[in-house]
Amino acid sequence: MKKLFFLLLFTLFSFSASAQKVYTINGESLELKTEVSGTIDLLWNIIDHEYRYFIRKNDKITELVNTKGNNKKFQEQYKATLNNLTKGSDLDTENVKLTLYSLKNFINTYNASLDSNYVITSKEATIKSRLLVFGGVTNSPYINNPSNIINPQFGAEIEIFEENILPRHALFFEIKQVLDNDEFNYSTTQLALGYRFRFINAEKFNLYTNVVFATYNFSKNTFTFINETDQIITKKITNNSFDVPFSIGIGADFKITSNSFITINYNELFALFLDNQDNFSTNIALGYKFNL
């Protein structure tokens, strides 16, 4: 069910990879993966947080680049490189993107056109999941909190992502408990569904933004006030609510073992469809995340 759920949101891709090897290219030592082997080979890796792609033909390795010109538009030099390396074929590079999936399809097609025995091998997208447990503090910025009181919070999260083709993207489901205290007698149990984009996705460090697009809250709030006869009145309000806040936060994962991470998140910085009640967020959480 987990795999089916994810594939409804993302297109199923094919993927193959072999062991990495170090190459010296224009005086630069690069550790590259061989994605496609044939008449021409496709090599690639993420280097300094950037996807880089190379073509090997007759033991000569050429990088595929796509730089911006003076007009700030991409020049798509990689298309000319592919045309030159596949000269004599009828293949059109116009619709080829500088992505692993698009390049792999193009090069597989070219290799198969030259070798009737060429076999295209592929694997299904690899779906992974991680569990996060966390604790922290929050001032519940979207709730009326006149004194901007900070309450403790704790919770857990399941993250689902595709490891090979879409490693920067993830979905997550979170359950969180905010505890009340004497200064601000507000508590809530929140169920949240969100999306995560890793704009830095390195081997030992990830930096990302979180978007929470749906929440359901079971909340309790206790008010104490003095009525007209000077009596102290305590009133408890229980409320269940569904919101679509599109709340934005940021976070980072620091890899500590081959299977686990220390995570820090700063959430509820702002929301598209909820007001922050004039309190800037102090929703900060520290957690431990591990692969399932």
CATH number reported for the structural domain that contains residue 244 in this entry: 2.40.160.20
The domain containing residue 69 runs over which residues? 17-121
Same domain, 163 and 276: yes
The residue out of 78, 100, 121 marking a domain boundary is: 121
Same domain, 168 and 261: yes
Tell whether 12 is covered by a domain. Answer: no
Tell whether 131 is covered by a domain. Answer: yes
Q: How many Cβ atoms from other residues are within 10 Å of residue 230's Cβ?
A: 6
Question: Which residues fall within 8 angstroms of residue 245, CB to CB, at 6 or more apart?
Answer: 142, 212, 213, 215, 271, 272, 273, 274
Choice among 1-5, 65-69, 213-217 with the minimum mean pLDDT: 1-5
Calpha distance 161→173 (Å, rounded): 12
Question: Which residues fall within 8 angstroms of residue 114, CB to CB, at 6 or more apart?
Answer: 38, 39, 89
**Number of compact structural domains in the chain:** 2
Same domain, 88 and 149: no
pLDDT for the residue 12 = 32
Q: Are 31 and 44 in contact (CB under 8 A)?
A: no
Q: Are 251 and 211 in contact (CB under 8 A)?
A: no
Residue 69 CB burial class (10 angstroms; 0-12, 13-18, ≥19): exposed
Same domain, 262 and 134: yes
Dihedral sign from CA coordinates of 1, 157, 155, 242:
negative
Indicate yes or no: pTM above 0.85: no
Same domain, 93 and 190: no
Same domain, 97 and 135: no
Give the residue among 184, 204, 292, 192 at the shortest CA–CA distance from 249.
Answer: 192
CA separation, residue 52 to residues 38, 84, 188, 267, 286 (Å): 20, 19, 46, 32, 33
SS3 content of the chain, % helix, strand, coil (to 5): 10, 55, 35
Give the SS3 label for residue 102.
Answer: helix
Same domain, 87 and 158: no
pLDDT band at 65 (very low <50, low <70, confident <90, very high): very high
Same domain, 149 and 268: yes
Same domain, 208 and 146: yes
Calpha distance 276→288 (Å, rounded): 28
Tell whether 71 is covered by a domain. Answer: yes
pLDDT for the residue 226 = 66
Choice among 125-129, 158-162, 266-270 with the minimum mean pLDDT: 125-129
pLDDT (average), residues 266-287: 92
With a cut of 70, say whether residue 242 has pLDDT above it. yes
